Amino acid sequence: MTYLVANWKSHSNNTQSLIWLKEMEELLPTTPSNLKVIICLPFTDLPEFNRHLDLQKTPFFVGAQTVSQYPDGKHTGDITAQMLSELVTYCVVGHSERRSFNKETCQEVAQQTKLLLESNITPIICVDTPYLDEQIKELFVQNITFDHCIFAYEPISAIGSGQAETPINVGKVAAKIALLTNENTTILYGGSVSPENVLSFTELPGINGVLVGTSSLDPNTFSKLIKTI
């Protein structure tokens, strides 16, 4: 199984997300069964997007882009894993933009991961080399078992820069993640993935797919990615 995860970040309101989906369905009436397409949307788009997927029987999965580090309770404005459990099967945690703009720490990401797993949502844990060891240590502190987790190696220098990491380095970091997690872990690569370079990552041993930001926003480019894989 190959994973293709779209991370829309803070793009697309409800109306725009439905237009995107309609265009995708026209461009790509079927999705290959060996490809798992996961669209990580803004919270506000989730209910309607889900409804439309159900109606059209489009075989995409839906994810969120972050989650509260707390369970339900007195945390004004937070969206908890329990709330998301009716809406998504996946959730990105620890994206470098949240680590940098929202000051999320490895401990918080480990707490989010634990709460997601308790709500039967698969966490997609983003990591980069400067804090890879610390992040995995914090996950062990929370007694996380990795068989229901996905890791995404996302070097900060490659995100949104048009300069993807070299497949050789991606392979090395994937091997390190596999070693540190002691499991047959699902590992993705993310950072300036395009239809032109995607196969150099998806065909690497130890890499199970890609996480894409910019290339997921335009239905033409995203459908090209799917066809290429």
Question: Which amino acids are annotated catalytic?
Answer: 95, 154
Indicate the residue among 171 and 195 with the shorter CB distance to ligand PGA. 195
Please name which of 148, 143, 149 lies closest in space to residue 126, comparing C-alpha atoms.
Answer: 149
- Closest approach of Cβ 127 to ligand PGA, in Å? 12
Q: Does 229 bind ligand PGA (CB under 6 A)?
A: no
Considering only residues 15, 160, 175, 182, which one is a binding residue for ligand PGA as defined by CB under 6 A? 160
- Take residue 91 and report the two structure tokens written for it: 């959730």
Q: Does 195 bind ligand PGA (CB under 6 A)?
A: no
Mark residue 182 as left, alpha or beta (left: phi above 0; alpha: psi -120 to 50; beta: remaining). Answer: left
What are φ and ψ of residue 61, in 5° steps? Answer: -100, 160
Considering only residues 93, 149, 159, 226, which one is a binding residue for ligand PGA as defined by CB under 6 A? 159
Considering only residues 7, 12, 65, 122, which one is a binding residue for ligand PGA as defined by CB under 6 A? 7
Residue with tokens 């882009």: 65
In sign, the C-alpha dihedral spanning 51, 54, 59, 63 is positive
In sign, the C-alpha dihedral spanning 210, 211, 215, 218 is positive
Considering only residues 46, 212, 225, 229, which one is a binding residue for ligand PGA as defined by CB under 6 A? 212
CA distance 34 to 126: 23
- Closest approach of Cβ 135 to ligand PGA, in Å? 16
Q: Does 123 bind ligand PGA (CB under 6 A)?
A: no
Binding-residue pattern over the window 35 to 64 for ligand PGA, x denoting contact by CB under 6 A? ------------------------------
Question: What is the four-CA torsion angle of 158, 161, 167, 169, rounded to 10 degrees?
Answer: -30
Indicate the residue among 39 and 211 with the shorter CB distance to ligand PGA. 211
Considering only residues 80, 186, 192, 202, which one is a binding residue for ligand PGA as defined by CB under 6 A? 192
208 contacts 3 by C-beta, under 8 angstroms: yes
Return residues touching ligand PGA (CB under 6 A). Answer: 7, 154, 159-160, 190-193, 211-215
